[in-house]
Amino acid sequence: MSLLFKIAWRNVWRHPRRSILTMAAIAFAAAIQVVMMGIQTGSYGQMIDNAVKIHTGHLQLQHPGYLEDRKMTQVLRDRDGLQALLESRERVVAVAARVNAPALVSAASNTFGGMLMGVEPRAEAAVSTIAAKVRDGRYLDDADPYGALVGATLARNLGVAVGDEIVFMGQGADGALAANLLTVRGTFTSGFSQLDKSGVYLPLATAQEEFALHGAVHEMVAMVDDFKYIWAVRNTLNEAIREQGIADVTALSWDQITPEIKEAIQLDAISAYIFFLVLLLIVAFGILNTILMAFFERIREFGVMLAMGATRRQLQRLIYIETMLLVFVAVAAGAVLGSTGSLLIQHYGIHFSGTDELMEQWGMSSTVYARYSILHVMIASLTVVLISSITTLSPIMKIGRINPVRALRHI
């Protein structure tokens, strides 16, 4: 074995150019995988972070049935107590309360189904980006209780502009008719078409009064300092709720509240996996090509070895060891190269110029940052090693069929 290993090592360096070319192909394949996975993970992270910041927030406290039933009466009564509970948590950096009330929204002879959202203007600006999405007019103001911020699409459909009046008509928590006038103080484009088409923000106290909620709220929204701690904070919140015996409250993370964000990304991930698969196939054929070329160049050499008494089995092992030597050196180089690339993109980002508008629609910036992970290096290395091993099978099987006499005459 150690003899074979020595021969293999010498063989590798007997044709340095050939070996280096093969290694370069393999290293490049590994490196590109690491970089691609880094960019993908990074952009998904950005997409999710931006998307949840539009409205959902990282975490919410809700009545346990509210997510499914969305009933006006499924409320959080102890708003102040829950606010204190959230603020006492480590990592929670912003908290805001909301009420949601479905209602008809009407202006002149146009009426559409809308969603009224009562928010605390200042606190809301800390948990969501809605204040920054104002297109015309201005954001909400507590001093203007009946001033509303209306989705741009809804405003257009209603035919209203800043300064116009709209009527809402819904049902209070007591079942009574809730209807009143609001003045459009601003319009917003959030990037979420559903929100732009039906959303109407108004001050929390106004919504609570109009919909007979008596200080109760539907959602307590919280942001944490780092995306990756969301689930841990949610779990400790639920523990605290259980321990303190708080009834009818549950903590939910963004992916429980808006699974569609995650689903959209999973869908996108599927197409990315297909892309990776194609990339891997191309890489596999590239490696196969180099290995086969090397093999045909060496048929005469194999003939000589067989004639001198080497067994086919020894030759097969030799080839395998040679290939693996190449592959391991190449994968190591590829991992270093890929990690460097991924880390650079994580730090500096790649700017996709000319795509600003498109990206903004998806709630992301046009500069994409990678998110490097050692896991990517492992996945890339494993797949490349696996593919190379499979590819080596072809020459190994061919050695079994070599006729030494003919091989000696092979040019």
Partner 1 sequence: MKGTGLMLVAVLMTGMPAVVSLGAAEPLTAEQIMSKVEDLLWGDTMYSRARMIITTPDWERTLTMDSWSEGTRKSFIRILEPRKERGVTFLKLESQMWNYLPRIDRVVRIPPSMMMSSWMGSDFTNDDLARESSISEDYMAELLGSGVPVDGMYHLSLTPRPDVGVVWARLEFDVRESDLMPLKARYYDEDGQVVREMTYADFKQMGERTIPTRMTVEPRTEQDRGRTTELVLEEVRFNEKLDEDLFTERNLKRGMP
Residue in 24, 167, 329, 332 binding partner 1, rule: CB under 8 A: 167
Residue in 92, 131, 158, 173 binding partner 1, rule: CB under 8 A: 173
Q: Find the helix packing angle between 2-14 and 16-54, rounded to 10°.
A: 90
Residue 171 interacts with partner 1 (CB under 8 A)? yes
Residue in 176, 358, 374, 375 binding partner 1, rule: CB under 8 A: 176
CB 362 within 8 A of CB 191: yes
Residue 222 CA to chain centroid, in angstroms?
20
Nearer to partner 1, 171 or 238 (CB): 171
Applying CB under 8 A, the span of 168-176, 236-244, 249-257, 392-400 interacting with partner 1 comes to 168-176
CB 294 within 8 A of CB 18: yes
**Least separation, in Å, of the C-beta of 176 and partner 1?**
6
The residue assigned the tokens 């492992």 is: 378
Residue 268 interacts with partner 1 (CB under 8 A)? no
CB 115 within 8 A of CB 162: no
Task: Compute the C-alpha angle 227/61/196, nearest 5°.
Answer: 75
Nearer to partner 1, 173 or 251 (CB): 173
CA-closest candidate to residue 161, choices 190, 132, 185: 185
Residue 113 interacts with partner 1 (CB under 8 A)? yes
Q: Phi and psi (nearest 5°) for 64?
A: -55, -30
Residue 109 interacts with partner 1 (CB under 8 A)? yes
**Least separation, in Å, of the C-beta of 77 and partner 1?**
13
**Least separation, in Å, of the C-beta of 156 and partner 1?**
16
Residue 183 interacts with partner 1 (CB under 8 A)? no
Q: Phi and psi (nearest 5°) for 189?
A: -125, 110
Residue 247 interacts with partner 1 (CB under 8 A)? no
**Least separation, in Å, of the C-beta of 335 and partner 1?**
54
Applying CB under 8 A, the span of 15-23, 86-94, 107-115, 246-254 interacting with partner 1 comes to 107-115
Burial class (CB in 10 A: 0-12, 13-18, 19+), 24: middle
Applying CB under 8 A, the span of 56-64, 82-90, 176-184, 369-377 interacting with partner 1 comes to 176-184
Applying CB under 8 A, the span of 24-32, 50-58, 108-116, 249-257 interacting with partner 1 comes to 108-116
**Least separation, in Å, of the C-beta of 389 and partner 1?**
52
- Residue 265 CA to residue 349 CA, distance in Å, equals 20
Residue 362 interacts with partner 1 (CB under 8 A)? no
Nearer to partner 1, 155 or 407 (CB): 155
The SS3 assignment for 208 reads helix
Residue in 67, 125, 162, 169 binding partner 1, rule: CB under 8 A: 169
**Least separation, in Å, of the C-beta of 160 and partner 1?**
13
- Residue 23 CA to residue 78 CA, distance in Å, equals 65
Segment 66 to 85, residues that bind partner 1, using CB under 8 A = 69, 71, 73
CA-closest candidate to residue 94, choices 46, 67, 129: 129
Residue 214 interacts with partner 1 (CB under 8 A)? no
Give the strand pairing for 147-151 and 177-188: parallel
Applying CB under 8 A, the span of 9-17, 123-131, 170-178, 390-398 interacting with partner 1 comes to 170-178
Count the residues in the chain.
411
Report DSSP letters for 70-110, one per residue.
Answer: --TT--BS-HHHHHHHHHHSTTEEEEEEEEEEEEEEEETTE
CB 377 within 8 A of CB 48: no
| DSSP label at residue 226 | S
Instruction: Count CB-CB contacts under 10 A for residue 299.
Output: 18
The residue assigned the tokens 């209203």 is: 160
Q: How many residues bind partner 1 (CB under 8 A)?
A: 21
Nearer to partner 1, 2 or 109 (CB): 109
Residue 175 interacts with partner 1 (CB under 8 A)? yes
- What residues make contact with partner 1 under the rule CB under 8 A? 69, 71, 73, 104, 106, 109-113, 167, 169, 171, 173-177, 179-181
